[in-house]
Chains A and B, each alone.
Chain A
Amino acid sequence: MKAAVSTIKIVILITLIVTSVYQTSRLWFDDQSDPNLFYRVFSSSALENLEAMRDAGNLITPKQLGVYLGQPNLEYTVVKKGVTHYESLRNESIKILTMGLNKDYYIGTVDNLELLWGNQHTSIHLDFPLEQDIFARNLGIPLNAVNSIKSVETILIMPAFRNEIWLNIFLEDQVTGLYHHYQVPRSEIVISNDSLVYQLSNVIASGSKTSFISTLKNNIPYYSKHLLLPLPSENNRYHDPVFMRIPFLSNGVVNIPELDGYVSLYFDNPDIMKAIPLENEVRYVDGNVVVRYNIDGLLEYNRIVKENTASTSLTLALTVANQFIEQDSQRMPTEYFLKTYIQEAQRTVFYYDVGFNDYSFVLREEVKQKYGMSHAIEVTVSGDKVIKYRRILRQIDDMNPQNKTLQAKYEDVLDKVIVEAGTLDVEIDEMYLGYSWHMDKMEMSLHWVVHYDGIPHFYPVD
């Protein structure tokens, strides 16, 4: 009896002690996410973090997510990131890819894509072409499922509607330009299929949309792949011009106290960081990090590390790069779009455009020359560390109200391209709307950016 009572006492005591320690730690650290001893014990979000990590480094993220409206409109619209249906459309499409791309469902290459123009579907345009092994690894599918495809950039997914038995997936091989067809029984992917059908109907039911014309459906020559081009629209309004300024400058010199706050982000121990003013530049140094900022608004971060000899997976490298930019953009808000990457030895360099309202800021040749950069952000990753980060800093100062409606006529731009190229034999790799500016000018306006002969060309929108 006595023993039983003392056992109960001990249990109650232990419970009380544990609770008190937990409560105290909460009081002390405000939040579990602060580095404290109990973080791992009480944190249930560890799994979510892993999931988020995987997401941050996933290369199967659409640069553009097109929805074919089917009858009666027969054109595409583009669902922008952050808009209501974006997440679910993307997620269901990727789930369908993961489950549907299987060698058993592979039919072969097709010339006739008529099937696609009968019903609604999504058209996913990746940031850049992915080689078959990278594509398979990122999707988590066996390599033999995409055996006959060299590299993927455009993916079209047409779910099975109502009583239909098959859903269809088309992958455009970026190397050969051929379309590979997979026909998957709906019964294999019922939930994702029906969910995609539902999301598509939501997009169609939602109000005013900008129409996009498909170079594939309309068989428009001059394009090397499936592109969606915006059509003139009264609903699509944009700011023009947009005025910017170089941050942390006053009267042409770097404002060190202002810059201190921003730069401290890059140091493990900001208290010992010290500014060294030089001509046209301020430098901060500690044991292994050097940060430079010059009056042209170029920020450069270098971390001296013993370089890993083992190469890092692309996914991990991208995760590291994305997290670094994410951290940076909390101080200096920006939209950023991954454009391309280079892998050399154990280093991976990622190139991003920054942008605004989903339009990229595209660097003209003269601006590239001046900064020695091809894109506004360059991140070099080695191992699990960012060893070099360069960014052209610009802040939007002021802009004209969003009162211009999009009158973009792609066919007029094509005329100019043909005249400029002096031949009908032009192959356009990319064509989109983006802001650009002339060197040293502090205002930007919207342009058509057309990539051919390997370089971007700029044409005014109106």
Chain B
Amino acid sequence: MLKQFIKSCILFTVLMALSSFAAYAEPIEADKAVFGTFLNTFNLTEQNIEYANNKLEAGMTSQELSTVGTLKISNGFSRQVFSTFASDKSIVGQGQSGSVVGLMVYTVNSNQQKVIHSHAIKTLGASGMFSETINYAPSRTQYLVIAVKDNQNITRRIFEITTKAMETKLKLENIEIRFVSEEKQVNTSVESMYDWLRLKSNIEF
């Protein structure tokens, strides 16, 4: 009983410490200029782009998650925090012509400083199409910031993404798991088959 209490106390302290560190993470020296430009473009502060300050309520649909201001991302994410095996992701969406869209992927290093991994800022043209490929930092947790400036509104969304090595995926795939019996599979319809695929690998498509 006592052991358990101490354990949870330690865990709590560690979590608190981590979250307080995260709140004050500054960018590393080399990235300060880029970081500054990005924040200025969207009138944001450092705290604004911390995941901890941008937690959304659970239960948002993937459509809601993928709508940032007037930008509708067509291949967005279904959760705010997730893991993926991907090394990059193309983000495609449509917004209002003239609005400015910014993407940034940053990680936090051991000194609790922000390190920019990839970034892009684009003003949407007549078609309103936005299309950009971002690279993920391999095998670690990172934050993706999507910011949109349209008219005078500024909207942002922060995702916490953990990348996993491809080897893990291959290992997982080689374990055979039967979720449903053969008889059930015969009746598999399109929707349920898709669910089944999702079940099989609980990660972002």
Question: Given the complex of chains A and B, what is the CA–CA distance between A118 and B197 in angstroms?
Answer: 7
Whether the pair A221, B94 counts as a contact (CB closer than 8 A) is yes
- The one of A213, A415, A418 that contacts B90, using a Cβ cutoff of 8 Å: A213
Closest to B84 in A: A72
Q: Compute how far the CA of A110 lies from the CA of B146 in the bound complex, rounded to whole angstroms.
A: 32
List, in ascending order, chain B residues with CB within 8 A of A23's CB: none
Contact indicator A72/B87 (Cβ below 8 Å): yes
Task: Say whether B194 contacts A114, CB under 8 Å.
Answer: yes
Quick one: CB contact mask for B81-101 with A, threshold 8 Å, 1 for yes?
A: 000111111101010000000
Residues of B within 8 A of A75 (CB): 90
Q: Which A139-161 residues have a C-beta within 8 angstroms of B?
A: none
Q: Give the distance to chain A from B26, nearest Cβ to Cβ, in Å.
A: 31
B148 to chain A, nearest CB (A): 16
As a 0/1 sequence over residues 417 to 432 of chain A, the CB contacts with chain B under 8 angstroms (1 = contact) are: 1110000100000000
Residues of B within 8 A of A107 (CB): 190
A217 at the interface (CB under 8 A from B): yes
Contact B127 A415 (CB under 8 A): yes
Binds B, one of A285-293, A334-342, A406-414: A406-414
Q: Is the CB of A220 within 8 A of B205?
A: no
Question: Is A43's beta carbon under 8 Å from chain B?
Answer: no
A415 and B203: CB pair below 8 A? no
- Specify which chain A residues have a CB less than 8 angstroms from the CB of B201 in the assembled complex: 71
**Which B65-113 residues sit within 8 Å CB-CB of chain A?**
74-75, 84-90, 92, 94
Query: With A117-B205, A165-B186, A213-B92 in contact, do A231 and B133 touch (Cβ < 8 Å)?
Result: yes
Bin chain A's interface residue count. Answer: 35 or more
Residues of A within 8 A of B198 (CB): 118
Q: Which residues of A contact B186 (CB under 8 A)?
A: 165
By the criterion CB–CB under 8 Å, are B127 and A414 in contact? yes
Instruction: State in angstroms the CA–CA spacing of A73 and B136 once bound together.
Output: 12
Q: What CA separation (Å) do A78 and B82 show in the bound complex?
A: 29
Binding site for A on B (CB under 8 A): 74-75, 84-90, 92, 94, 125-131, 133, 166, 169, 176, 178, 182, 185-186, 188, 190-191, 193-194, 197-198, 201, 203, 205
If A419-B126, A424-B128 are given as contacts, then 7 extra A-B residue pairs at C-beta distance below 8 Å, sorted by A number, are A71-B201, A74-B86, A118-B198, A118-B205, A162-B176, A221-B94, A232-B133
20 contacts between A and B (CB under 8 A): A71-B169, A71-B201, A72-B85, A72-B86, A72-B87, A73-B87, A74-B89, A74-B205, A112-B191, A163-B178, A165-B185, A165-B186, A166-B193, A217-B75, A221-B94, A410-B129, A414-B127, A417-B127, A418-B126, A419-B125
